[in-house]
Amino acid sequence: MINLMKKSVVQIQVFGGFTMDFKIFTYYILVCNLIEITPSFKGLSQFKKFYSWEREYNGRCKVD
């Protein structure tokens, strides 16, 4: 299911009932093709966590 949200961000609902930015999904597929592995829903979930962390900290380690 694809929903158009504000700011023209496309959200998709993936297996398991959670929504995800289409850009994250696309990047995951591109990375899987690049490193020659088969995409999976578990991998997509882990990639979403990594991508969200990366966006929040801009690739820098969190300093306490």
Structural domains in the chain (count): 1
User: Does 64 fall in a domain?
Assistant: no
> What is the tens place of the pLDDT at every residue in 23-45?
888 888 999 999 999 999 899 88
Confirm whether 62 is domain-assigned.
no
Question: By C-alpha distance, which of 55, 54, 52, 45 is closest to 17?
Answer: 45
Domain extent, residue 52, equals 2-57
C-alpha 33/C-alpha 30 separation (Å) is: 5
pLDDT of 18: 55
**Full-model pTM:** 0.59
Helices (H) and strands (E) in the chain — how many of each?
2, 3
Angle between helices 22-35 and 41-57 (to 10 degrees): 110
- Asked if residue 63 belongs to a domain, the reply is no
22, part of any domain: yes
Domain-located, residue 50: yes
Answer whether residue 11 is part of any domain.
Answer: yes
Question: Comparing C-alpha atoms, which of 49, 28, 46 is closest to residue 38?
Answer: 28
Q: Residue 3: helix, strand or coil by DSSP?
A: strand
